[in-house]
Amino acid sequence: MANEKFVSQIADIETDFPQWYTDVVIKTKLVDYGPVKGTMVIRPYGYAIWENIQKEMDARFKAAGVENAYFPLLIPMSFMTKEAEHVEGFAPEVAVVTHAGGAKLEEPLVVRPTSETIIGHMMGKWVESWRDLPLRMNQWCNVMRWEKTTRPFLRTSEFLWQEGHSVYATGEEAERETQNMLRLYEEFARNVLCMPVLVGRKTEKEKFAGAVATFGMEAMMHDGKSLQAGTTHYMGQNFAKAFGVQFTGSDGTLKYGYTMSYGVSTRLIGALIMTHGDQRGLILPPPVAPVEVVIVPIAQKKEGVLEACNALAERLKKAGIRVKVDDSDNSPGWKFNEWEMKGVPVRIELGPRDIEGGRMTVFRRDTLEKGDGYSLSDAEEIVAALLGQICKDLYAKADARMKERIVGADTLEGLLGGVNGGNFVRAGWCGERACEDKVKEFAQATARVLDEKNDMPTCVCCGKKAKHTVFFARAY
């Protein structure tokens, strides 16, 4: 009965998914709304998820040879205007500082929406010879984009992210790095977030402002919409020429470098919520869960119960597992509900009978399965294996759903029916912007990424021969 009351606190996931999402992120204390419209305050539980994402991602960057740096928040307005396409793309979202220290500034300063311009400027100072290349950097920071419609984690005026920027001597090297980082993101999504994704090139309409080519990582949410979970960009020499990133080659001639960039953000938290969550709330993949195991004492006031729970927790901590003992005065039923909503992967219940019998009761958040036949003396091995299995099962479930909900269409009516049914739609496209715009107008769907398996014969819009096969979807 307690579970039914608890579940009713959240909107129905099937009939009101947007409200379900809002209820979950607020009630699980991931975020709260900031005092400035469109901003969010990331609370400790939500920030702990971000820290785990950051830790896992940063380790991958370092293993790939990327070094961390930090660049200023404020960017001279003149920098933004050096690359015309870039400034045009960001103009509607830019926040500008015009006064500081009680005086009007001689030159307005932009609060960074991204850092291509200032990093390009510094690369122009640091790169002199071919021996200085490649220069590969990443920064973990905040950015500001003045969004009109916001939703916590998915789209806010200020958010956290990483942005990597590299400069190479040749275009081939920069293009290769663009693909390498896309694959790094794909592996991260699969093994850390337990989330299947589609990766591929973006259309010209959907590419990053100022890029030669943009590649995206798209994830399917519970409602069938797509969420852009990460992007990589090949810039060619656009920013190198705008900011004077030149080097003397081994042949003694002066050359422009080739740059690329890549980024993921706190939007990944929204992605994992909407990929794995259910009517009870969050289901967190173990690699990013702030608490992987919660231990709930049963009859905790009885002698030896709390001591046994704390001893088990210490053993699990030594095994590298993030664990918490809930020794609050709340009832066991209340605790079960609270930690289920917060998405903790594994719950262990330990009471006098369990301790006496050398057993423990274990609950899986993802499947809601509960068993009491687990050996207490083998807890470390049992829990580690269970967390690994949860990762595999979460991925398998999300992957099966995505595959089932990718459908084909060869007419606009078929495409509309597909997205109305909560699907991604594979369809042919002639490559003309007018047809891409027509799809958005008719079906409120956009081209997410191009499919390498280019097998659709005709354009879904005009019926002419298709140049590309595209995954179309409604998107956040």
The one-character DSSP state at 456 is -
> Tokens 């690359």 identify what position?
83
Contacts of 16 (CB under 8 A, 6+ apart): none
User: Which tens digits make up the pLDDT trace of 69-128?
Assistant: 999 999 999 998 887 777 677 778 899 999 999 999 999 999 999 999 999 999 999 999
Sequence-ordered alpha helix ranges (H) in 143-212: 171-191
Q: How many other C-beta atoms can be found within 10 angstroms of the C-beta atom of residue 254?
A: 8
Residues of the chain with CATH 3.40.50.800: 291-389
3-class DSSP state for residue 466?
coil
Closest by Cα among 250, 251, 257, 239 to 172: 257
Residue-wise over 405-436: b if at least 16 C-beta within 10 A, else e? bbbbbbebeebbebbeebbbbbbbbbeeeebb
- Tell me how far CA of residue 62 lies from CA of 66, 188, 259, in angstroms: 5, 14, 19
> Per residue of the chain (476 residues), what is the pLDDT tens digit?
344 455 558 999 999 999 999 999 999 999 999 999 999 999 999 999 999 999 999 999 999 999 999 999 999 999 988 877 776 777 788 999 999 999 999 999 999 999 999 999 999 999 999 999 999 999 999 999 998 889 999 999 999 999 999 999 999 999 999 999 999 999 999 999 999 999 999 999 999 988 999 999 999 999 999 999 999 999 999 999 999 999 999 999 999 999 999 999 999 999 999 999 999 999 999 999 999 999 999 999 999 999 999 999 999 999 999 999 999 999 999 999 999 999 999 999 999 999 999 999 999 999 999 999 899 999 999 999 999 999 999 999 999 999 999 999 999 999 999 999 999 999 999 999 999 999 999 999 999 999 999 999 999 999 999 999 999 999 99
Distance CA 235, CA 192 (A): 28
Distance CA 44, CA 30 (A): 7
Fold designation for 406-473: Translation Initiation Factor IF3 (3.30.110)
Read off the amino acid at residue 207.
K
Bond from prior residue into 297 cis (ω within 30 degrees of 0): no
Contacts of 111 (CB under 8 A, 6+ apart): 73, 74, 75, 94, 95, 96, 97, 144
Residues of the chain with CATH 3.30.930.10: 2-276
Fold designation for 291-389: Rossmann fold (3.40.50)
Beta pairing class for 67-68 and 74-76: unpaired
The one-character DSSP state at 299 is S
Distance CA 71, CA 75 (A): 10
Domain 2-276 has CATH 3.30.930.10: yes
Which residues are paired to 343 by β-bridges? none
Segments of 181-333 assigned E as strands: 198-201, 213-220, 226-236, 246-248, 254-256, 258-265, 293-297, 323-325
